[in-house]
Structure 1
Amino acid sequence: MRRVVPAVVALLATGLLAPAGAETEQTAFAPADLLAWERQVFVGTTAYALDHVAGRPALRATCRDSASGLVRRQTVDLTKTPILEWSWRVEAVPAAGPSERTKAGDDYVARLYVIRDGGLLPWRTRAVNYVWAAGEPAGADWPNAYADQAHMVAVASGPPAAPGAWVTARRDVRADFRRFHDLAVDAIDAVALMTDCDDRGGTWRAWYGPVRFVPR
């Protein structure tokens, strides 16, 4: 996606995602909570709506040559709840196209990311993006093509083993910031999600289930 990471970095630098703790700390988000997150539009508008699919409530995301996300601005205390757990679902994954390590391929059918605010020093802002990749294998990681302050992690890749099945993922956010950014962080300042397809084009769809931060 052309603008996501640079735009998020700029928002943090200008204080639009600050001060930390602007929202009451919340560690569990149902799909209805996700829909209430702040909308950030970068290229066109990805449509987000509540749905009920495969036996679960969900947030449905549909992009059409577009890229816009939902952002929750708040401090999350990683000393208490360092594990990010979520569920997501796709019915299809776009065929592998340009490398996702390049600007032309920086689109993802589903992504969830966590942000550490750099304050008055925007170059110190860091983000970890957990993505459902089309070409990169699950477990791969790489610097974002547009901004090396963000690191991409392929949590899932390619078509799901069971089309339409829910997939649950867990990541140790503190460990990931240490591994990918060499940072010891006690908190993050924002969490966001997005389905984007503005670079490659077409119509992509994903469903997001509950997102929560839990103890180790």
Structure 2
Amino acid sequence: MAGRILLLILVGFCATAQANEYRVSAFSSEGLRGWETKTFKGSTDYSLVRDDGRTVVRAFSKGTASGLFKKMKLDPQSFRYLRWSWKIADIVKNGDETTKAGDDYAARVYVVFPGRFFWQTRAINYIWANRLPKGGAIPNAFTSHAMMLAVESGSERAGQWLTEERDILADYRRLFGDEPHEIGAIAVMTDTDNTGGEATAWYGAITLSTSKSP
């Protein structure tokens, strides 16, 4: 009996834990199902590959700008912790976060917060920065409705798989000065259309959770 009770407790715990985590991507089991393409200029090549023993998305851009996005409706007050893993071959050499001509990134993961009207939509771009110091944040060179936050910066850790975690609710409050309504989409993008350069990046699993990592 005690064993059965323990089993029920464990099953209940697992069910609760799963309910507290939303899998944005599970490339190894689902591939790119549920992801859509948004093209800005040309098509960045996104493909499923095996790297470091797991299935991930490889992105290659040569003067192109297109991204993958997945729609959802989640409460950022609850699902506030975004986790992902990524790797880059190198930064965009001529990239410069402060100019339109340099607004290219080897890797970025961003969260879209729809507004009641389209012009009220905002986004946090978590970028692997070219020049902006790690931890720095500035408005996007094209629109103040998108904030660029440097989670990594420079070439020092290029070629390494890194795991990141951000409190998107806290970041939104700090960057925009108010409260977000809902999470409408998560996107990834590798782009080099403004500089005309090249970039390669890899994206691993992405999740949204109600609690921080242990």
Alignment TM-score, normalising by the size of structure 2: 0.82
Find the aligned partners of 2:119 and 2:47 in 1 and give their Cα distance: 34
Instruction: Work out which of the residue numbers 69, 83, 86 in structure 1 matches 2:84.
Output: 86
1:57-106 Cα deviation digits (max 9, x unpaired): 210000111000011111122232210000001122232x3531110111
| Correspondences of 1:13-162 after superposition (within 5 Å) | 27-28=22-23, 29-31=25-27, 33=30, 35-36=32-33, 37-95=35-93, 97=94, 99-119=96-116, 121-161=117-157
- Matched pairs, number: 188
- The verdict on how the C-alpha distance between 1:98 and 1:211 changes in structure 2, with shifts beyond 3 A counting, is closer
Find the aligned partners of 1:34 and 1:76 in 2 and give their Cα distance: 22
- The verdict on how the C-alpha distance between 1:200 and 1:167 changes in structure 2, with shifts beyond 3 A counting, is same
* Counterpart secondary structure, 2:101: helix
* Counterpart secondary structure, 1:139: coil
Find the aligned partners of 2:169 and 2:138 in 1 and give their Cα distance: 18
1:121-155 Cα deviation digits (max 9, x unpaired): 23321111000011111111000111101100010
Identity of aligned residues (%): 40
State the partner residue of 2:173: 178
State the partner residue of 2:17: none
The two structures, once aligned, show a CA RMSD in angstroms of: 1.6
Find the aligned partners of 2:73 and 2:66 in 1 and give their Cα distance: 22
Contact 2:61-2:190 at 8 Å conserved across structures: yes
TM-superposed deviation, 1:185: 2.4
Find the aligned partners of 2:197 and 2:124 in 1 and give their Cα distance: 26
Q: Which amino acid aligns with 1:42?
A: F
TM-superposed deviation, 1:34: 6.6
Contact 2:22-2:207 at 8 Å conserved across structures: yes
Find the aligned partners of 1:151 and 1:31 in 2 and give their Cα distance: 27
**Residue range with higher mean Cα deviation, 135-144 or 34-43:** 34-43
Find the aligned partners of 1:208 and 1:99 in 2 and give their Cα distance: 22
Bigger CA radius of gyration: 2
Find the aligned partners of 1:164 and 1:149 in 2 and give their Cα distance: 31
Unaligned stretches of 5+ residues in structure 1: 1-25
- The verdict on how the C-alpha distance between 1:130 and 1:34 changes in structure 2, with shifts beyond 3 A counting, is farther
TM-superposed deviation, 1:175: 0.8
Contact 1:54-1:164 at 8 Å conserved across structures: no
Find the aligned partners of 1:98 and 1:83 in 2 and give their Cα distance: 28
**Residue range with higher mean Cα deviation, 175-184 or 31-40:** 31-40
Q: Which amino acid aligns with 1:99?
A: D
Contact 2:37-2:68 at 8 Å conserved across structures: yes
